[in-house]
Amino acid sequence: MELLHNFSFGPGGWGAALLAATLTTVAVAVCGFVIGGVIGALVAWAKLAERALLRFAADLYTTVLRSIPDLLVIYLFYFGGSLAVTQAVNFWGRDGFVGVPPFAAGAMAIGVVSGAYQAEVFRGAFRASSRGEIEAGKAVGMSGLLLFRRIIAPQVLRHALPGTGNVWQMVLKESALISVTGLVELLRQAQIAAGSTRKPFEFFLIAGAIFLAITWISQHVFSCFERRTGRYAAGGLY
């Protein structure tokens, strides 16, 4: 009974706090995922560019970020971001220390890391999309943004969907690392509750269960998307 009381939504229960923390986890993961998607698209474009310098820079980015622990990147963005903001503020004549909000630092850090993985996914998807359709698009007079919006993006996104799903799962689990900056997401909230109730096992278990539920649901959502976008795909693997 005492166990249930700990997770209840009433006074003295941690239910409401855990729910809020779950929403924070999802929010920070979604922000990081979107930032990573934008970075990934740009880096993939650089990887496929003609200019050797661009290709080199993009390759360097993906190789380096995929071999450095995410925790270090989070530290860099949290402490480094605060340092940069403080310096900027001091430059404009205000004294004192200004910290970066942990949410922003965490979302950026996750975005930058997942961007490296996303870039590889997009690059592979672009390779898999049909040359003929792009040429046909050009032949009817599309170019630049229109070609990208109408022909390239829909194909690339469809091919990228399975890989993107994997990156999302990774981002979601990585968001637990942001707890080191003090952002009250699911794991941090579990830590706080564990400290206050002296029941670490129950609270970390429930945090794990909530993470599991989120990954399970997103797995289903992604396979639903895959079925939907694969409707008109011609034969082959679909």
Partner 1 sequence: MDPFFIRDSFFQLLSGVPLTIELTVVGFLLGLVLAMLIALMRFSRSLPLRNAARSYVFVMRGTPLLVQMFLIYYGLGQFRPTFQSLGLWQFFREPYWCGILALSFNSAAYGSEVLRGALNSVSKREIEAARACGMSGVLLYRRIVLPIALRQALPAYGNELILMVKATSLVSTITMMEVTGIAARLISETYRPVEVFIAAGAIYFAINFLLTRAVSMLDWWLTPHFRGVPKSRQQERANV
Q: For binding to partner 1 (CB under 8 A), which residues are involved?
A: 64, 66-73, 75-76, 78-80, 83, 169, 173-177, 179-180, 187, 190-191, 194, 198-201, 204-205, 207-208, 211-212, 215-216
Residue of 168, 166, 204 whose CA lies nearest to 186: 204
Least separation in angstroms between residue 163's CB and partner 1 is 14
Distances from the Cα of 173 to the Cα of 129, 148, 213, angstroms: 30, 32, 12
Q: Which is nearer to partner 1, 140 or 237 (CB)?
A: 237
Q: What is the DSSP secondary structure assignment for residue 99, as one 8-state letter?
A: P
Least separation in angstroms between residue 167's CB and partner 1 is 14
Alpha helices by DSSP H, listed for 68-101, are 70-75, 81-91
Least separation in angstroms between residue 82's CB and partner 1 is 9
The pairs formed by 233-236 with CB atoms below 8 angstroms and a separation of 24 or more are: 233/158
Q: Which is nearer to partner 1, 19 or 157 (CB)?
A: 19
Least separation in angstroms between residue 136's CB and partner 1 is 37
Place of tokens 């639903």: 224
Q: Which is nearer to partner 1, 57 or 147 (CB)?
A: 57
Distances from the Cα of 81 to the Cα of 86, 96, 101, 108, 109, angstroms: 8, 15, 9, 10, 10
Helix (H) or strand (E) holding 142: none
Q: Which is nearer to partner 1, 70 or 111 (CB)?
A: 70
Least separation in angstroms between residue 80's CB and partner 1 is 4
Q: Which is nearer to partner 1, 75 or 103 (CB)?
A: 75
